[in-house]
Amino acid sequence: GIQVEQSPPDLILQEGANSTLRCNFSDSVNNLQWFHQNPWGQLINLFYIPSGTKQNGRLSATTVATERYSLLYISSSQTTDSGVYFCAAGASTGGFKTIFGAGTRLFVKA
């Protein structure tokens, strides 16, 4: 099945800094999502992006499906961006199984 690897595992930023989170996946995918889990455990869907580029405010994401990676950009980080960012991928050949990466834990300092 698909394997999903995220890097870096941990990241500490000063408020206002920019960052790039990476997600590599081992096979062709039809489904690539980015989630943010806040310190209270709530998971919010940030992007559904099996290919191409999307932007939502200070966040943007790019998936290059042919090269099997996706990037999440956070610009002008804020303390509320702290939490864990997960990448999740799936392929139609695997049914509706969505595989989550181990996450990138982000802490933004004031």
Partner 1 sequence: SQTIHQWPATLVQPVGSPLSLECTVEGTSNPNLYWYRQAAGRGLQLLFYSVGIGQISSEVPQNLSASRPQDRQFILSSKKLLLSDSGFYLCAWSGPGQVFQPQHFGDGTRLSIL
Q: Which residues bind partner 1 (CB under 8 A)?
A: 30-31, 33, 35, 41-45, 48, 50, 86, 88, 90, 92, 95-103
Give the per-residue SS3 of the chain: CCCEEEECCEEEEECCCCEEEEEEECCCCCEEEEEEECCCCCEEEEEECCCEEEEECCEEEEEEHHHCEEEEEECCCCHHHCEEEEEEEECHHHCCCCEECCCEEEEEEC
| Minimum gap (Å) between residue 13 Cβ and partner 1 | 20
Of 57 and 95, which has the nearer Cβ to partner 1? 95
| Minimum gap (Å) between residue 76 Cβ and partner 1 | 25
Of 32 and 108, which has the nearer Cβ to partner 1? 32
| Minimum gap (Å) between residue 21 Cβ and partner 1 | 14
